[in-house]
Amino acid sequence: MLNEKILEQFEAAGVEGVSENALNSYHPFHWVLEFATVYQDGGFDVIIGNPPWDVLTSNRDDFFPKYDETFRTRMPEDKDAMMEELLEDSSIEEEWEKYQTEMGRRAKYFNDGGQYELQNPEVGGSTVGNENDLSMLFLERVFDIISEDGYVAQILPGVILNGAAGKDLRSHLLDKTNIQHIIGFENRGIFDQIHFQYRFGIVTFKNSGSTDVVNGIFSQTDTSILPQHESKTVKIPRRVLEEYSPNSRIFPNIESEQEVRVLNEVLKPPSVGEDVEGSWYASLYRELDRAQDSDRFVEDINKGDYPVYQGKNVFQFAYTNEYVDGLEDIALWSVDEDDSEEDSAKARIRGKNFRSRDADISLKKAIYERFTEHPAYSHLSTRSQKGFVNDVLTDEHNRQELSPQDVLLDSTEYRIVLREIARATDERTLIAGVIPKGAVAVHTLHTVRPYKVEPEQDDLDEYPMHGAYQRVFTDKELFAAVGLLNSIPFDYLLRTKVDSHIVKYKFEESQMPRLTAGDDWFHYISDRSARLNCYGEAFAEMRDRLGGIEPATDESERRELQAEIDAAALHAYELNRRDTEFILNDFHRVSNPRIMDEEYFDMVFEKYDHLIQNRPEP
C-alpha cells in the first residue's frame, strides 16, 4: 500500500514509466513501518545526525569510477577524454543513459511530488531551487519525524545556514522550533575530505515554540569550541537573525558580542530598496550587457555621441580618473537614436523598458494597474494590458497608442551607479558614484533608477508621456544617498553578504538611514558628497542646481571630506563611540590602499568625536 502511494506521488510529479519493480530497485524507506511504535507515540524524542551533503543529480564522478578507478582524480580535460572513450562501449553508454534517466526521475519526484515544501523558496522575486540537496531534504524530513517536544542536533553544510536555497528551512527553524545553538565552522583540517574553506555548522533545536534568542558563534576553525560552547557562544537576538537578510533570511557569521551589538544598531533603519513614503529608495537596474549589446557600441570617440560607462570607469565619488589613480578612460561610446536606431544604445534601452513586464519599469503595466479599476474606464474591456491601455489612450484621451517614445530614459537625469564586481577583501566593497546626464552603462555597473513610474490621469493626454515619471531623489537627496552608499557603516554591513558580486536582492534588503531635508546629518553628508562628485564640465548644471557649489579638487581636501562623510554616517546609524571604534578597528585593511590607511581611520574617529561636540544643524 505504501509503495502504491509513492507510485501515485511519482505520477503527481509528472514522472512516467516507474513500475513497481523499478520502485523496488530504489529501496524506498517507509518510516512508519520501520518505526511503527515511534510513530504511534508521536515521533522520535531525539534525533542526532549528519545527513549526506550530496546533491541528487547525475554526476559523472559518481558513475564512471566503476569503469575507471582513477576517474575522480583526473583533470577535467582528462575526464572528458576518458568519458568519450568509455562511451564508445555501447553497454557503458546504455548504462550511462539509464543512470541519467533514473537520477532525473528521482529529482523530479522530490521537486514536484508534493512531499517536500521547503525546498524552493522565493528570493528577490524569483524561485530558488536547491538541485535536490540531500542535506536539505533530510532536514525537512527531520521536522516531520521528530516529536513535538523532541530535540534535534544536526551537522549541516553551510548552504543551509547561509545559502539562498535554505531560506524556507531557516524560516521554519525560527518560527516553528526553538533553536538552542548554532556553531558555524570553516573547515581547516576538521574534515580531510572537503575543501579547507568549506563552511558547515552544528544546529541544535527543540521542535516546539519559536526562537527568540540563539546561542551562536561562527567562523570557528577547529572543534575546541565544543566543550566550551556554553561560555564561548554569544546570544544572538531573533531580530538580528531576521533583519540581517529580510529577503533570504541568511544568518550572519557572528563571532563576538560586539558584532551582535553593532548589527543590532545597523539593522534598525529600513532596507535601502524599500519604497518608504516621503523618502527616496535605491532600486538597481541592469541597463546594457557588454556582450549581448555589443552591436550598439563603438570604440572611436569621434564616432560616438555619448559615453558608455563600465565598472572600471567609476570609483567612489568619481566618474573620471582625474582624482583617482587606476581608473581607466572611457573606451566605449554609442550614437544618438535620431542618427541610427539600429546602432543606438539608448534605442536598445528604450525598447527594453517599453517591453518590460516589471511593474517598476513598465509604463504600460503601471497604467494598467493604476486605471484598470478606475470608474472613468469601467466600460472598457480589460482583455489584455496592451488592449486596455491603448483603448484608454486612443478612445478616451484622443492620442496615439503607447509607443517606445513614451518611455523616459534614466539617462536624462544625473544618477547613481555602483560597481557590480565587489569583494569583501577589497579596500571598499561598495563603490558608488554619480555619472553625468546623457551617459549609459553596461552590466558591470548597476544603475540606481532615478525615476519611478506613477502615471496620473492628466498624464494620459501627453505625448510623449514623460510626465508619468516621477523623480525618486531630489538633487540634495541624490548626494546624501551616494554619501551613505559609500560610507563605512553601510560597507561594513554589505561586505558580510558579498562574495564577488553585488547581488540585487542582497543590496536592496540592506539597511540605510533614509535621510531627507530636515533630518540630522542630511545636509552635512549631501553637501560634502556633492563637492566630491560634482567636478568637471559634465556637472556644471548640477553645481548650479545646488546653488553654485565649489567642487573639491585638492587631494587632501577630498580625503578630509570623505572622512567627514564616514564620521557623519556613523552618527546617522546612531552608533555610539564604542561601536564606532569597534567597526573602525574591525574593518578590513588592504596592503596598498588608495585612501583607507591607518591615518584615514584615525581621521574618521577624530571627526566622529568632533561631531559629538559640534553637531551640525539639520
At 114 the pLDDT is 67
User: For position 28, what pLDDT does the model report?
Assistant: 60
**pLDDT recorded at residue 77:** 86
Asked if 146 and 140 count as a contact pair (C-beta separation under 8 A), the reply is no
| pLDDT for residue 10 | 47
Could you count the other beta carbons within 10 Å of the beta carbon of residue 69? 9
Sorted by sequence, the CB contacts under 8 Å of residue 227 that are 6+ apart come out as: none
DSSP line for 437-465: TT-EEBTTEEEEPSEEE---GGGGG-SS-
**Distance (Å, whole) CA 37 – CA 34:** 9
The candidate with the shortest Cα–Cα distance to 434, out of 388, 486, 385, 386, is: 486
pLDDT number for residue 7:
47
Q: Dig out the grid coordinates for 447 from the structure.
A: 544603475
* Residues 424 and 494 sit within 8 Å (Cβ to Cβ): no
Cα–Cα distances in Å, from 189 out to 52, 65, 193, 223, 382? 19, 26, 9, 10, 63
**Residue 479 near residue 241, CB atoms below 8 Å:** no
Answer whether 590's CB lies under 8 Å from 425's CB: yes
**What is the rounded distance in angstroms from the CA atom of residue 575 to the CA atom of residue 562?**
18
- pLDDT tens column, 119-149: 889 888 888 866 678 899 999 999 999 999 9
- Partners of 445 in beta bridges: 419
For residue 509, which phi and psi values (nearest 5 degrees)? -85, -15
By C-alpha distance, which of 54, 256, 254, 57 is closest to 157? 54
> Rounded to an integer, what distance in angstroms lies between the CA atom of residue 125 and that of residue 116?
21
Neighbours of 105 (CB within 10 A): 17
Query: What pLDDT is attached to residue 360?
Result: 87
Q: Which of these, 250, 438, 263, lies nearest to 345 by C-alpha position?
A: 438
At 498-524, the pLDDT tens digits run 888 999 999 999 999 999 999 999 999
What is the chain's length? Answer: 618
- Bridge-based pairing state of the strands 146-157 and 44-49: parallel
- What element of type H or E holds 258? helix 257-266
Q: In what order do the strands lie in the sheet with 284-285?
A: 284-285, 445-448, 415-419, 432-435
Cβ proximity of 50 and 154 under 8 Å: yes
**How would DSSP label each residue in 334-396?**
E--TTT-TTT-HHHHHHHHHHH---TTT-HHHHHHHHHTT-GGGTTS--S-HHHHHHHIIIII
What is the grid cell recorded at 64?
Answer: 564512471
Considering the entire predicted model, what is its pTM? 0.86
Under 8 Å CB-to-CB from 577, ≥6 apart: which residues?
608, 609, 612
Q: Which residues of the chain are under the pLDDT cut of 50? A: 6-7, 10, 13
From the number of C-beta atoms within 10 Å of its C-beta (0-12, 13-18, 19+), residue 70 rates as exposed
Positive/negative CA dihedral, 189, 191, 193, 198: negative
